[in-house]
Amino acid sequence: MTITDRIQNTSYGPTARNYDGLILLGYAAFAVLALAATYLAAAGPGVADVDVVVAAVMP
pLDDT of residue 4: 61
CA distance 43 to 20: 35
pTM passes above 0.85: no
- The residue ranges of every structural domain in the chain are 2-57
pLDDT of residue 37: 84
pLDDT of residue 33: 94
CA distance 55 to 59: 6
List, for residues 16-49, the tens digit of each pLDDT value: 578 899 999 999 999 999 888 877 877 777 878 7
pLDDT of residue 11: 58
pLDDT confidence bin for 7, thresholds 50/70/90? low
Do 19 and 30 contact (CB within 8 A), yes or no? no
